[in-house]
Amino acid sequence: MYPHTHFIFGLIFALIGLKLNLINIYLASVLVLLSVGLDIDHLIFYYSRQKNWNLKKCWNYCVLVKRTRKDLIFHSLSFLVLITLAGVVLYFIKPGWSYVFIGACLPHYFLDVLFDYLRRRKSDYLKIKKLGLVMFLSKYELALGIIGAVILVLLFW
């Protein structure tokens, strides 16, 4: 998934946590940043292959080059298990922080798994290139964005 989709769903989980008084505004901000920030492993993957920190080239490389989940530190099944266990343990120490880790990492992971599944189905993609950045938008990601926007409106209502 692209960062804007992770942002929308991170914001949804942050607002749910705020409405249920599980977290405060500070932790909600951390949750949203973490839900997008988990993609830093794409930059690490790109640097390990290309020895270059150029963000535009990194973006295009990660969009165009096939990779596996094991290539990305924060997108592996072992990281998911580790973060879930850490979240459970942390629940007994700092429940708010537990919600932050679980609310940022699990949706991020499952959105990416869904994206990979839909990509394998070889659905139609719209290739967009703006400001030198390549994006392949599918009807599924667009639908998820719309669903996320509707959920956000309902949460603010």
Report the percentage of the chain scoring pLDDT > 70: 92
Q: What local confidence, expressed as pLDDT, does residue 125 receive?
A: 72
Per-residue burial over 15-29, b = 16 or more CB atoms within 10 Å of its CB, e = otherwise: bbbbeeebbeeebbe
Residue 20: pLDDT over 90: yes
Q: Which residue has the higher pLDDT, 114 or 70?
A: 114
Single-letter residue type at 107 = P
* 45-101 per-position pLDDT tens digit: 888 888 888 888 888 887 777 666 566 777 778 888 888 899 899 999 999 999 998
Its domain, for residue 44, covers 3-156
What is the number of structural domains in the chain?
Answer: 1
Q: Which residue has the higher pLDDT, 49 or 7?
A: 7
Q: Average of pLDDT values for 135-147?
A: 82
How far does Cα 125 stand from its chain's mean position?
20
